[in-house]
A and B are shown apart, each in its own frame.
Chain A
């Protein structure tokens, strides 16, 4: 006769239970719960964002049908068009727009950094009880609708407003000249939109800064530049890199600001993409442009993570 084992006395199902977070359960139960929790969210992100983004690789090489539909024919036309070979021969327009988008994003980020450092120090030096108020003052434009903030500049830059009058008084512009659409207006709009994106993370870093290092640098007769370079910059780099990513990436794809303040004269790649999905109804070309923008974005993100890691390690 077979000797009874302890396991035989237990119901079969409980023999493979595990202890998970203080609970006796079968692994399959854990897996089922896990799946229930993550499935809806992951499905939405995968099917509405990740896969369509990957599909850009395919759609970019398809043909535009006669009525703006997509035909399943492989073509390199969109690449050629992007490089400037169009119906009327070669033109630099598209390449220029791509190049301009990168330059504008870069310059906007740079200007925002230059303005954000003084602002971050100013905020960090406010008395503790007033700081929340000052932060709120900075957060309000951050949360104000982009369209409203951009069109507000149309009022300020109007030819009859004091700013334009002042410029014409200095003989920089003709009297009554409206200052938009122009490159200048695009930069004004971009910097005002993205400034809080750099200033807020930078402020968080400055607030946590160890000032004794700065004092030590001063005591050792460092020049202001060297104090900044060796005592302030390394400490604020985490905040700075967050700010740079939060500005450079969306700035490259920005389309509201150049659309309202730059007009047809100063288009960025965002406007070109919008045209393809709007009036032109040329999705394959729009997809090709989006693909280039996506690759540029990825490049910027990788560079930002690498850069901050490398400098952080030193």
Chain B
């Protein structure tokens, strides 16, 4: 039976144009030699050359990378622990239900409410202890807060898949708990942990709203830099920067697809 019609094929083509046209325009104008406006002035790589010499952009790129790497490292550890603790130990049914709601809270909370909650929490902590001045640290903590749940959910999927048998067999063979954990459970969880970490990393690179609320004056990241520049007026340099960010995105999506052909998020 025919499962697709001409109409749905045409709509799909239209949708792909709709999704890619803006991104392709950015790429096109990043090679535009003309300084002002959106008139084509010939091919040029000068905006890319300028990028490399713009210290603000290099600094923002460095911040973005530090933020993503550090927050992913912490959230992968904490999220994996949380998943094991929640789904490998006996909980009373009601407690388990409540904890499950708590775990899904970061996933369903809209960005902006999440950001407002963090801002309030940080200001209370700052008021009482004097710590947590808005800056890269608060951004890292903010990112960890939303990443934990995604990592935990990715690891939970794997925990359900592998079952208990191998762990119990290891115990029967007199392996201590630490040994079971490091030699049996963690190696078996590895694909789930890697998937969770990659998800956390990409979410961190992608985030704008939470960074925007929790950033300090010196902790600009690339999305924040692009946003601020666009507010001042679009410059061709931003096109070049965006093109590079998009290329990194495409590479990481391709990598994720290759590494985990069967996982869905």
Residues of A within 8 A of B (CB): 20-23, 25, 30, 33-38, 40-42, 44-53, 55-56, 59, 115, 117-119, 121-125, 132, 135-141, 143-149, 151-156, 158, 160-161, 192, 195-196, 199, 204, 211, 214-215, 218, 245, 249-250, 252-256, 260, 270, 273-274, 277, 283, 286-287, 290, 293-294, 297, 301
What A residues does B108 contact at CB under 8 A?
245, 249, 297, 301
- 12 A-B pairs within 8 Å (CB atoms) are namely A30-B90, A35-B85, A52-B116, A140-B253, A144-B246, A147-B226, A147-B227, A148-B26, A151-B226, A155-B26, A195-B18, A245-B108
B133 part of interface (Cβ distance < 8 Å): no
Min CB–CB distance B207 → chain A (angstroms): 9
B window 126-150: CB within 8 A of A: 141-142, 144-145, 148-149
The answer for the CA separation of A294 and B221 in the assembled complex, in Å, is 28
The answer for the CA separation of A52 and B230 in the assembled complex, in Å, is 32
B window 215-265: CB within 8 A of A: 222-223, 226-227, 230, 234, 238, 242, 245-246, 249-250, 252-254, 257, 261, 264
B44 part of interface (Cβ distance < 8 Å): no
Interface size class of B (residues with CB under 8 A): 35 or more
Asked if B82 and A38 make an inter-chain contact with CB atoms under 8 angstroms apart, the answer reads yes
B window 77-96: CB within 8 A of A: 78-79, 81-82, 84-86, 88-90
With A145-B246, A149-B23, A274-B212 known, 18 other A-B pairs at CB within 8 A are: A37-B84, A38-B82, A44-B144, A45-B105, A48-B141, A49-B117, A49-B118, A50-B105, A56-B117, A119-B15, A124-B4, A125-B4, A132-B257, A136-B254, A151-B238, A156-B21, A256-B209, A256-B227
Min CB–CB distance A149 → chain B (angstroms): 7
A249 to chain B: closest residue by CB: B110
Asked if A136 and B257 make an inter-chain contact with CB atoms under 8 angstroms apart, the answer reads yes
What A residues does B25 contact at CB under 8 A?
152, 155-156, 161
Residue-by-residue, is B105-125 near A (CB-CB < 8 Å gives 1, otherwise 0)? 110111111101111110010
